[in-house]
């Protein structure tokens, strides 16, 4: 890694020198052109000679030299990277996985552009890629563009102007839906407005605002309301008090993230684009799978299991969307074909283990739970959905 770091530093230096050198030479050449232009305006008797002189000046620029030096450093960095991270990922790539599913990929890309607020790019992509647009896709795109245009309008107001008006109005219009989500967004927006009055030095306005808007949130947010009201006593030196966290710029970052998350939740969508999540998880899993493939290839073993990986992929907590159940009897992980089943006593094992217990039982159709004295039949077990 030290070699790569040195090569990267050399490339950055060459890039900086190249940029400065080229800009200086172009500025000098521009001055020559301006002078020739003025000269020709007063004396146009010999324009051919002026052209020759301009060509000679252009040759002296030698713009290719700093560019070649930069390209040499770039090639060296590329070779160092290839030596350090030489991997052929084509050995684990299955191109047939997307055969006949091009429309799904196009759809994912188009919706990703919408999620990122790139509405014009979405239209251009669908047009240039000649994405087949059926009524369902057209309605979906139009609906999501309308929704996310509204979301980004509010986010821009929060980001650039610290204006909470539109965000508060949106939460009031979607109050019932946010309540079902158990969201605290509406209160947190009013909290930010209260803090704005405090930081502006207007304690009376902040208290009046709190009395008007906090009364609806007293049951759930009473400790925080009490803290905010007490903070108004320290208005003259709040940044040095125990309430200094109210002045933190991170409050705005958090409120924007919360707004985006709850906005997407009401649309029954994740806060992150599914395409982004897929690529992120894929790049996280790639080194593990490459290492697994290398080990299996050295042992001449084959990967025979379908729809599952023979090794665990470490993922961040926020990327764990599904609960994982391991059968306490067989120690196997539950699958769609072998789901978790709950017996009347409340204990849960996988379906295959349940079937084996039933077959091995001496009493017809009844068996004993492996974890308690209760007896039951296979028909009494119910599938569990996590």
What is the pLDDT, as a whole number, of residue 363?
Answer: 61
DSSP-derived pairing of the beta strands 366-368 and 348-350:
unpaired
pLDDT for 304: 60
Structure tokens at 270: 């994740």
Residue with tokens 């009493």: 363
pTM score over 0.95: no
pLDDT of residue 117: 92
Which residues sit opposite 340 in a β-bridge?
A: 350
Tell me the CATH architecture of domain 322-385.
Answer: 2-Layer Sandwich (3.30)
Write out the two tokens for 28.
């000098």
pLDDT of residue 362: 64
Distance CA 117, CA 261 (A): 15
In Å, how far are 154, 197, 201, 269 from 272, measured between CA atoms? 17, 32, 37, 8
Position 335 scores a pLDDT of 84
Token pair of 314 as six digits: 């470490």
Q: Which of 138, 146, 148, 172 is nearest to 264 (CA)?
A: 148
For 323, the 3-state DSSP assignment is: coil
| Domain locations in the chain as residue ranges | 1-82, 103-171+179-267, 272-303, 322-385
Q: Name the token pair of 296.
A: 């299996």
Q: Could you give the residue ranges of the DSSP H alpha helices within the chain?
A: 2-42, 47-61, 64-84, 102-115, 119-128, 135-156, 165-173, 175-181, 185-199, 203-213, 218-231, 250-266, 274-298, 351-360
Q: How far apart are CA 134 and CA 106, in angstroms?
A: 13
pLDDT reported for residue 342: 92
Q: Give yes or no for a contact between 235 and 203, defined as CB atoms under 8 angstroms apart.
A: yes
Crossing angle between the packed helical segments 185-199 and 203-213, to the nearest 10 degrees: 160
- List per-residue pLDDT tens for the chain, 386 residues long: 677 788 788 888 888 888 888 888 888 888 888 888 888 778 777 778 778 888 887 777 777 777 888 888 888 888 878 777 767 777 777 777 788 888 888 888 999 999 999 999 999 998 888 877 777 888 888 999 999 999 999 999 999 889 999 999 999 999 999 999 999 999 999 999 999 999 999 999 999 999 999 998 988 999 999 999 999 999 888 989 999 999 999 999 999 999 999 999 999 998 888 899 988 888 888 888 888 888 877 777 666 655 666 777 778 877 777 767 888 888 888 888 889 999 999 999 999 998 888 887 666 678 888 888 888 888 888 998 87
- DSSP class of residue 272 equals S
- The single residue listed with the structure tokens 């990277």 is 81
């Amino acid at each position: 890694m030290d070699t790569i770091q040195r090569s990267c530093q050399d490339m950055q230096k060459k890039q900086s020198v190249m940029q400065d050198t080229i800009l200086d030479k172009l500025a000098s050449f521009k001055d020559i052109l301006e002078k020739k232009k003025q000269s020709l305006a007063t004396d146009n008797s010999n324009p051919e000679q002026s052209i020759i002189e301009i060509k000679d000046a252009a040759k002296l620029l030698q713009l290719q030299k700093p560019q070649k030096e930069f390209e040499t450093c770039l090639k060296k960095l590329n070779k160092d990277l290839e030596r350090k991270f030489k991997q052929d990922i084509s050995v684990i790539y299955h191109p047939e996985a997307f055969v006949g599913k091009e429309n799904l990929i196009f759809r994912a890309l188009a919706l990703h552009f919408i999620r990122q607020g790139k509405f014009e790019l979405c239209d251009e992509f669908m047009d240039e890629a000649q994405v087949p647009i059926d009524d369902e896709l057209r309605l979906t795109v139009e609906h999501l563009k309308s929704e996310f245009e509204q979301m980004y309008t509010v986010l821009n107001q929060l980001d650039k102007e610290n204006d909470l008006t539109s965000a508060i109005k949106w939460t009031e219009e979607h109050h019932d839906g946010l309540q079902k989500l158990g969201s605290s967004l509406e209160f947190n927006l009013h909290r930010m407005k209260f803090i704005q009055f405090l930081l502006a030095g207007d304690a009376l306005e902040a208290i009046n605002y709190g009395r008007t808007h906090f009364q609806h949130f007293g049951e759930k947010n009473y400790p925080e309301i009490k803290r905010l009201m007490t903070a108004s006593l320290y208005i003259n030196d709040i940044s040095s008090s125990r309430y200094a966290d109210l002045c933190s710029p991170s409050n705005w970052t958090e409120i924007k993230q919360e707004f985006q998350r709850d906005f997407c939740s009401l649309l029954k969508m994740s806060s992150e684009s599914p395409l982004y999540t897929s690529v992120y998880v894929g790049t996280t899993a790639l080194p593990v799978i490459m290492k697994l493939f290398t080990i299996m290839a050295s042992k001449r073993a084959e990967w025979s299991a379908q729809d599952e990986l023979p090794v665990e992929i470490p993922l961040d907590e926020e990327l764990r969307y599904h609960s994982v159940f391991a059968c306490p009897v067989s120690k196997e992980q539950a699958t769609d074909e072998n789901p978790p089943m709950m017996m009347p006593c409340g204990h849960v094992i996988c379906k295959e283990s349940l079937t084996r217990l039933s077959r091995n039982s001496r009493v017809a159709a009844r068996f004993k739970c492996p974890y308690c004295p209760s007896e039951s039949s296979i028909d009494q077990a119910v599938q569990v959905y996590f």
